[in-house]
Amino acid sequence: MKKLLSLIIILLAFTIQAQDGLTSQLYETYEEYKESSIGKRRIKHADIQPLIQKFKENPKFEVQKVGESIQGRDLQLISIGSGKSNIFLWSQMHGDEPTATQAIFDILNFLDAPQFKKEKEEILSKVKLHFLPMLNPDGAEVFTRRNALGIDINRDALRLQSPEGRTLKRLRDSLDADFGFNLHDQSTYYNAERTEKPATISYLATAYNYEKDINEVRANAMKVIVYMNKIIQDYAPGQVGRYSDDFEPRAFGDNIAKWGTSLILIESGGYANDPEKQEIRKLNYVSILSALYTVATGSYHNIPIEDYEKIPHNDRKLFDLKIENVTYELLGDDYILDLGIFTNEIDVEQHNQFYYKSSVADQGDLSTFYGYKTFDATGYKIIPPKMATVNHVEDAMDLLKNGIAYVKTQLPENSAFVELPLILVHNDFKLNDFTIQPGVNPTFFLEKEGSLTHAVINGFLIDLSKPLDEQHTGNGLIYK
């Protein structure tokens, strides 16, 4: 008996070692399979149709129309593999959550390529994979969470009023999938609990009842998540969170787990200096493919579910910029404040790009919060911005060094923002009395020992001692 147990442990060690080797190869060769035609987050239904058509013409894949959105856009399922066990993956249930949609097409490119033949045969001979890359194309068209009916599809599992929700339910039932991957994006302001690190990827094995019981179906999802967490730790250490498992009786994930599918929720969060989430897309690609491999080989069975509880909870204590211990004068008295700033994205009219319009999210004692960028402003004082009139802005840095943030000048007709760290205003514009309050646009200067050292323009911190082209200055705004 002891010899048999030792043999099982040795075989398990070899299997895990082989999978770790596969994971590193997947990461290193990713660019060979990345679908370059969809490199930005604001992808639309039309953008993925040529890709789906390519797989439809490929005999390795089965492509079928499985439904339509409210506005008549096709919902398509792409399948590959000959195994008896079905695995169902769907993305963009929320129209503004496309990171995994991009990763799905990277995975499909990988499955089509000649490399990694042995590993792919091991997966595709044991399981059949089914990908629904864009469940909410109407929402994707205008880059919004909800569908054209204005409802959250992920709260329609019981009433099934949306055609998209009915399609998802019908597919789940017909496939009777052993595993389901419910692929989402979450706020970039989530952090791994009690750390300054963003929750770049968060996982959840959804509960199927209020008691949060763990049956075999849920335990299997937990085991695979433990394995995926181990993978992400190699590339984004400490940047994994565990999404809340509070039971939501209307949600698809919770109900799919109740209906017998081991449900793995993946939420793509934030990663420093990755506004288009391309590094997170890569992590999705690597971790999902590795998960498919461990499911196909069955090696996940020996993973202890106790390790699932060791993954930190999601917390929401991140700002884009945190300024600590800054001096702020109000009515003749000095106060010490922390400022937490969000650099909010505002879609342009066609929903294919965005600009930043920042706001003060919170202020006061923010010692339990963190920032993607943190500046210790001890000894620095907030200085209100000044305004000047110029015919043409030739040197933005020269204006900033003189404490000028607002510029009266000729304004472009069809834009709300400018690719300069300045606020452009019309000739009749008047500066209000300066104040720092939650909700206001953070535009001011920092002074130390009588000299201006930094500007904060539309929420972006600018070091006045460095050239602008060496800094991330975001964009300025135009007030008409």
pLDDT digits (tens, 9 = 90+) for 59-98: 999 999 999 999 999 999 999 999 999 999 999 999 999 9
Percent of the chain surpassing pLDDT 70: 96
**Mean pLDDT (whole number) for 431-449:** 97
Class of domain 22-315: alpha beta
Q: Is the fold of 22-315 the same as that of 319-479?
A: no
Please provide residue 72's backbone torsions phi and psi, each rounded to the nearest 5 degrees. Answer: 90, 15
Average pLDDT along the chain: 95
- Strand 359-364 with 354-356, pairing: unpaired
**Mean pLDDT (whole number) for 257-268:** 98
Q: How far, in Å, are 6, 7, 168, 192 from residue 2 at the CA level?
A: 6, 9, 47, 40
Residue 397 has what pLDDT? 97
**Mean pLDDT (whole number) for 245-265:** 98
Residue 19 has what pLDDT? 67
The end-to-end CA distance of the chain, in Å, is: 81
Q: How far, in Å, are 256, 266, 287, 345 from residue 37 at the CA level?
A: 32, 23, 22, 23
CB distance 223 to 214 below 8 Å: no
Q: Where do we find the tokens 């787990």?
A: 257
The pTM (predicted TM-score) of the whole model is 0.93
Residue 21 has what pLDDT? 81
The full set of domain ranges for the chain reads 22-315, 319-479
Instruction: Report whether pLDDT(395) > 70.
Output: yes
CA nearest 406: which of 426, 381, 436, 391?
426
pLDDT confidence bin for 9, thresholds 50/70/90: very low
**Mean pLDDT (whole number) for 150-171:** 98
Residue 17 has what pLDDT? 53
Please tell me whether residue 185 adopts helix, strand or coil conformation: strand
Domain 319-479 has CATH 3.30.360.10: no
Instruction: Report whether pLDDT(13) > 50.
Output: no
CB distance 211 to 289 below 8 Å: no
CA nearest 411: which of 432, 390, 441, 440?
390
